[in-house]
Every structure is written in structure tokens, then in C-alpha cells.
């Protein structure tokens, strides 16, 4: 008697695990894609997955076929021993489209993740709203968006796009903290190429419109790209290793064999003698973080600012640094948006922020002004001011004007501000400054070029250095570049128990 009941369970289990059937699984593989279950196996520690709502089916009585699971697999498991909740759309079932019950399954898992305070991972491979279920599928998306918002700032949310993700469905990934897209497989767009052709008579391929490279470099929707699904899962695991489980915890402390007192006498040589020569800020970052390991976020987007995670004596840190090798490290709309969102993420999850500064200022031009550099640039100021996690800033080279203030200056309540002796802190760069304050002298000079050079040198010697700021206490310590790592680590350790109380309010109003 019992045997029959047990057998029924196993039959149902088997039916659920075959998803849309052998044929559709083969079709999935022939597109070079893994199935949702294979993806979960790749992501989670072995034998840790507990699937829930495996037998849920849709309520569409007119449908010719019902599939257990309803096109999405949900549950929880462990990544490197740490609890995570996940949902993975199963493309083999009705193209992974989202119907009423699939929506309820996802929301249930989101609520569960929120209750226990664990990260939420989503794997998208879906035809979007299930057409047959009409408004109920839209209802499901609405509920998912609501829970994305509830979870934002409470538990980390990461989305992998490994298949189509179209229409309004793209907004749930966009509301999560990090999006990773697999090249030539992940696609995200609000309106597809056919609609673009019909409405705008423009020919654009899926890849060009919403592929991984497009979103990683042009729109900034994708924070990471992966060459294949294996790399995608590895990146998710690595990313999680820097993050706490939720906003009430500190990120995990990692073991490190890298000496916290390690100095790097070569560090200063990375900075060219000529302040107009380019160099790669990532070389400096790699030198100061533990074992040279830096996980860059948004590597291909707004390259004039570098953001990402590293560790300092085992502690997770978020690094924000100007990149002099791209647009001379000037701040613009995209770099302001990129850094501001990252700072807010770090602040939400108790990750200290290390800022490395070498920027000539905000990028000038009608294009930037008309597209709202004032609006977007102010987000960077807002994000730094708002952040109460430990903030340590080190000025390496140029720190001019508004960009000096924006890049984690003392007034934005950085806790410790270091400067290298090579730092140039001024309202304007020497050349720009003297053309304004010495306009008359230059006009009257028989050799304007030589006079300009001489005056610029005088200005640089007198004003463009860190010592005036150090005299005023705006820079706490001028350090020997080779000691950057030990100085940052000492500051971080002194700030481990930092508490900063702000006036109570519902929320600030960042200039979105």
C-alpha cells in the first residue's frame, strides 16, 4: 500500500525533473545551453539543493499539456558552504515563460530569502510573460519587482542572463545588484529586433541590440560577462565570496598569506613623471590588495573609473579609482552613475570603500552638459556623503576642482585621507589656472608660451601639491607611496567598529 504511494512520488519526481521532455532538452543542448537543472548543479555545492514547489502546475485548463514545475525551478542550497536562494527559468517548459504559478514560486523563494537573510540568485532563460496567461503573468512580474525592491539593500541579489530576457521582464534583473551575461547566449531588451525594424525601420541583430558585449560596454546593464556558463557560475561564486549574507552582517574574513605590512618600492614608478602621460590605475590596485586579486565590476563600461572588490588583510573592500588611461580619468555621466551605484551597494552591505584619486575634473562639453552631467555627477557626491561605512581615500595624482571633492574628499566625510607626495590638489590644473589668473600677463608677454610654462611651473610648485591640504587637516597623512598598503590596512582596522549616526528619515532623494 505504502509502496504504491512512494512509487507515485518517485514517478512525479521523475516527470518534474525531465522538464519539457527529452526532445526539448536536446534542443536546449543543441543551442549550446545547459538546462536549468544542470546550471543549478554547476552553481551549488553537491547535494545541498532543496527544491520546493516541484509539482506546481499552471491553472490554464484549456492548455493541452501541464508541466510540473511550471517553467521555473526554485529552492535553496549552498555555495562554498553558505546558504543561497535561487530561481532558474526552465526554457524547456513553454520557453521558460512566466505564468501565474511560476510568478508565485519566485515570490515565495524571495520571501524566504528575506526571512532568513540570504542572497538571492536568479538565472534567466525565458520567453517573458506567458502569452496564454495574459494579465496573470504580468501580475507575477509586478510581484517580483516589488520583492526585488524589498530585498534591495537587505540581501544581495545577483542575476545571470543565460538566454532570452525580453520585454518588461528585463526590469527584474536590472533591479538586482549585479547582472552577469553569458556571451552569445544572454539577451536582454525591452523591444526586440523585429519591433525595432517595424517601428524604426532599423536593422539590428539580437546580439547587437541586447547581447552581453552591448550591455557590458554600452548600456552598463551587465556588470560582468562570461565566455560560457561554467565561467558564469565561477564568477557568481567569486562575487559571493566578497559579500555578507545580508545587510546586518560583515563580509566574511578570508585567510591571507599576504603580509599586511608589505611595502612596494616600485609603486611610485607606475605613476609617470609627466602628469599628462597615461598609466594604468589597475597596476596600483593590484599592488595594494591581498595577493594582487581584484574582481573588477563593469570592466568594459565607463572605463574612466575603475570599481571592484578586493581584500585588505582578509577584509572585503570596494575600490573606486580614476583610470588615467581612459579619458585621462575625467569624470563623466556614465562613470558617475557607475561609481555612485557601487558605493551605495558597498554601503548597504558593510563593505568599506577605498578611493584612489587621479582625475583632472569633470569632462567638459555640450554633450555632457545636455545629457545631464549636473544631474548624474551629483549622484557621486550624494553616494559618498550618504555612505557611512569606513571610507579611506588616497590621492595619487591630480585632484582638481569638483572632481577632487567628489572622489571621497574629507568634506564628504571620508574617515582617513591620504595623499602621495605626487598629489596635486587644486581648484584647476596649473595650465588652466594660470590662463585665468594671469590672463593680462600672458597677453602682454612677448613669449606667451614660455611665460605660460614658467607660470604653470610656479603654480604647480606653490599650489599643486598635497601640503597645503595637509596644513589645513584636509589630508590626514602624506605617505610614501610604497607604504600605501600598510597605511590603508591600518586605517581599515582602526575603523572596524565605526558607527556613524545620521538623522532619521524615510529615505534620501538621490538625483536619479
Our CB check for ligand HXC shows the closer of 65 and 411 to be 65
- Residues involved in catalysis: 167-168, 402-403
Choosing from 75, 119, 164, 318, the residue that interacts with ligand HXC (CB under 6 A) is: 164
- Interface map 123-142 toward ligand HXC (x if CB under 6 A): ----xxxxx------x--x-
Closest CB to ligand HXC among residues 99, 429: 99
The three cell numbers of residue 342 are 557601487
Which CB, 95 or 361, lies closer to ligand HXC?
95
- State which of positions 75-94 bind ligand HXC (CB under 6 A): 94
How many chain residues bind ligand HXC (CB under 6 A)? Answer: 15
Residue 300 CB-density burial (10 A; 0-12 exposed, 13-18 middle, 19+ buried): middle
Site string for ligand HXC, 198-227 (x = CB under 6 A): ------------------------------
| Interface characters, 25-64, with ligand HXC (x: CB under 6 A) | ----------------------------------------
Among 44, 162, 169, 395, binds ligand HXC (CB under 6 A): 169
Comparing C-alpha atoms, which of 457, 461, 464, 465 is closest to residue 420? Answer: 465
Which range binds ligand HXC by CB under 6 A, 80-88, 101-109, 159-167, 430-438?
A: 159-167
Site string for ligand HXC, 184-203 (x = CB under 6 A): --------------------
* CB-nearer residue toward ligand HXC: 93 or 356: 93
Rule CB under 6 A: say whether 103 interacts with ligand HXC.
Answer: no
Question: What's the CA angle centered on 473, arms 470 and 476, to 5 degrees?
Answer: 70
User: Phi/psi class of residue 209: alpha, beta or left (left: φ > 0; alpha: ψ in -120 to 50)?
Assistant: alpha
Q: What would the grid cell of residue 317 be?
A: 573592500
Nearer to ligand HXC, 68 or 95 (CB): 95
Tally: H helices and E strands in the chain: 21, 17
Burial 249-285 (b: 16+ CB within 10 A, else e): eebbeeebebebeebbeebbebbeeebeeebebbebb
**Partners of 456 in the β-ladder:** none
With CA atoms as reference, report the closest residue to 425 among 407, 442, 448.
Answer: 407
Among 95, 156, 193, 352, binds ligand HXC (CB under 6 A): 95
CB atoms closer than 10 angstroms to residue 21: 14
Nearest to 396 by CA among 274, 313, 478: 478
**Chain positions contacting ligand HXC, by CB under 6 A:** 94-95, 97, 127-131, 138, 141, 164, 166-169
Amino acid at each position: 500500500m505504502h509502496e504504491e504511494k512512494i512509487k507515485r512520488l518517485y514517478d512525479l519526481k521523475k516527470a518534474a525533473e525531465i522538464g519539457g521532455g527529452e526532445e526539448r532538452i536536446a534542443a536546449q543542448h543543441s543551442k549550446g545551453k545547459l538546462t536549468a537543472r544542470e546550471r543549478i548543479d554547476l552553481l551549488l555545492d553537491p547535494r545541498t539543493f532543496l527544491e520546493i514547489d516541484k509539482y506546481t502546475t499552471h491553472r490554464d485548463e484549456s492548455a493541452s499539456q501541464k508541466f510540473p514545475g511550471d517553467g521555473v525551478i526554485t529552492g535553496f542550497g549552498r555555495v562554498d558552504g553558505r546558504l543561497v536562494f535561487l530561481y532558474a527559468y526552465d526554457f524547456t517548459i513553454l520557453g521558460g515563460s512566466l505564468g501565474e504559478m511560476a510568478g508565485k514560486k519566485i515570490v515565495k523563494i524571495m520571501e524566504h530569502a528575506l526571512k532568513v537573510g540570504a542572497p538571492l540568485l536568479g538565472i534567466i532563460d525565458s520567453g517573458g510573460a506567458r502569452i496564454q496567461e495574459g494579465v496573470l503573468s504580468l501580475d507575477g512580474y509586478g510581484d517580483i519587482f516589488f520583492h526585488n525592491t524589498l530585498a534591495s539593500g537587505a540581501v544581495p541579489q545577483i542575476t545571470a542572463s543565460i538566454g532570452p530576457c525580453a520585454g518588461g521582464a528585463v526590469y527584474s534583473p536590472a533591479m538586482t545588484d549585479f547582472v552577469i551575461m553569458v556571451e552569445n547566449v544572454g539577451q536582454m531588451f525591452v523591444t526586440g529586433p523585429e519591433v525595432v525594424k517595424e517601428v524604426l525601420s532599423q536593422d539590428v541583430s539580437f546580439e547587437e541590440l541586447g547581447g552581453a558585449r552591448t550591455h557590458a560596454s554600452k548600456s552598463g546593464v551587465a556588470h560582468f560577462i562570461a565566455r560560457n556558463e561554467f565561467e558564469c557560475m565561477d564568477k557568481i561564486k567569486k562575487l559571493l565570496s566578497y559579500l555578507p549574507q545580508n545587510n546586518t552582517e560583515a563580509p566574511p574574513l578570508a585567510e591571507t598569506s599576504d603580509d599586511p605590512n608589505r611595502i612596494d618600492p616600485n609603486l611610485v614608478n607606475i605613476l609617470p613623471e609627466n602628469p599628462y602621460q597615461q598609466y594604468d590605475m589597475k597596476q596600483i590596485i593590484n599592488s595594494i590588495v591581498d595577493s594582487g586579486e581584484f574582481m573588477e565590476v563593469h570592466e568594459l563600461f565607463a572605463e574612466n573609473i575603475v570599481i571592484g572588490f578586493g581584500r585588505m588583510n582578509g577584509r572585503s573592500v570596494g575600490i573606486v579609482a580614476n583610470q588615467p588611461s581612459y579619458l585621462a580619468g575625467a569624470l563623466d555621466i556614465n562613470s558617475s552613475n557607475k561609481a555612485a551605484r557601487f558605493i551605495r551597494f558597498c554601503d548597504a552591505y558593510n563593505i568599506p570603500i577605498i578611493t584612489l584619486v587621479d582625475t583632472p575634473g569633470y569632462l567638459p562639453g555640450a554633450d555632457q552638459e545636455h545629457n545631464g552631467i549636473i544631474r548624474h555627477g551629483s549622484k557621486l557626491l550624494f553616494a559618498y556623503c550618504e555612505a557611512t561605512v569606513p571610507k579611506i581615500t588616497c590621492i595619487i595624482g591630480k585632484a582638481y576642482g569638483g572632481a577632487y571633492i567628489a572622489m571621497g574628499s574629507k568634506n564628504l566625510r571620508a574617515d582617513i585621507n591620504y595623499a602621495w607626495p605626487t598629489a596635486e590638489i587644486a581648484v584647476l590644473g596649473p595650465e588652466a589656472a594660470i590662463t585665468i589668473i594671469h590672463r593680462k600677463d600672458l597677453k602682454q608677454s612677448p613669449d606667451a608660451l614660455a611665460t605660460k610654462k614658467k607660470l604653470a611651473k610656479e603654480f604647480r610648485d606653490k599650489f599643486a601639491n598635497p601640503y597645503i591640504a595637509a596644513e589645513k587637516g584636509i589630508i590626514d597623512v602624506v605617505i610614501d607611496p610604497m607604504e600605501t598598503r600598510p597605511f590603508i590596512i591600518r586605517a581599515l582596522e582602526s575603523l572596524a567598529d565605526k558607527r556613524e549616526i545620521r538623522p532619521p528619515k524615510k529615505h534620501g532623494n538621490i538625483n536619479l
